[in-house]
Amino acid sequence: MFEDEQISEEEVTADELSDLAFGMFTIFSEQRLEADGCRLFEIVESGEDILPKITALYTEFSAEYPLLAESLALFGEPEDILSFYRFGEGIVPTKTTHSYWIQQTAPGVAADACGDEQAGKWLIFLPPADIDEAWVKVRNATVAGELGIGAKVSTFRDSEDSRDDKKVIYVFTGDWADEADVMRVREKLKELGFVDRIGYKRNLDTYAGEYREKGKRVTYYSV
């Protein structure tokens, strides 16, 4: 899943490397937990004592990715990492400052499906005060299989790419050319309360840098 041997400490600072390791450990844990029929955010929000699970995952992660584990250790022991999750790190957008994004994949969908060139995404821009509640709606609908193949939300980690203080939720569909499915997801978003006009971007255009120049068409669909 990860190639930690390719990560050089000369390319990033120690803090950036530890944040990267934390994010990768979170993804690692989510994938392992979902394979067992549970989800990290659900068991954290339920208040269940998952320290034994986090400890086991920490041990497994350290064995598989020793270089990343060295950086992850800057966050402390498994109980310290669990305290970050309980605070909301990696789960609540406004409480997350060590990762730029929180992601949620739909059931039965490959972890990297949202990055496929054929995929695309609806973009929902919101003020920070509204992002937590909106993310819960999208996340839960994604887990229920009611939306597309996955979703992600920007967090409160500072980003040089941000043009204003608004946050964004991406709601992915597997095939931008499947207009019926794209619009089905849009209708479901309206049911969830996202009734203002929003745009849809194709991944292939994003990867080609089509939105970096003035005058370029920003969205493929706009509804």
Output the average pLDDT for the chain. Answer: 90
Q: pLDDT for 42-89, tens place per residue? A: 999 999 999 999 999 999 999 999 999 999 999 999 999 999 999 999
Taking a C-beta distance cutoff of 8 angstroms, is the pair 184, 209 a contact? no
Q: Where are the domains of the chain?
A: 4-91, 101-222
Query: What are the tens digits of pLDDT across the range 79-130?
Result: 999 999 999 999 999 999 999 999 999 999 988 999 999 999 999 999 999 9
**pLDDT for position 218:** 72
Residues 6+ apart with CB under 8 A from 23: 90, 98, 99
- Angle, helix 78-87 to helix 14-35, in steps of 10 degrees: 80
| For the chain, percent of residues with pLDDT exceeding 70 | 89
What's the CATH number of domain 101-222, 3.90.330.10, 2.60.120.260, 3.30.760.10, 1.10.10.10? 3.30.760.10
Instruction: Report the DSSP beta bridge partners of residue 170.
Output: 123, 152
Please indicate whether residue 111 or residue 12 has the higher confidence score (pLDDT).
111
The identity of residue 214, as a single letter, is K
Cα 146 to Cα 38: distance, rounded to the nearest angstrom: 18
- Give the residue carrying structure tokens 């992915």: 172
CB atoms within 10 A of CB 180: 6
Which run of H or of E encompasses 153?
Answer: strand 150-154
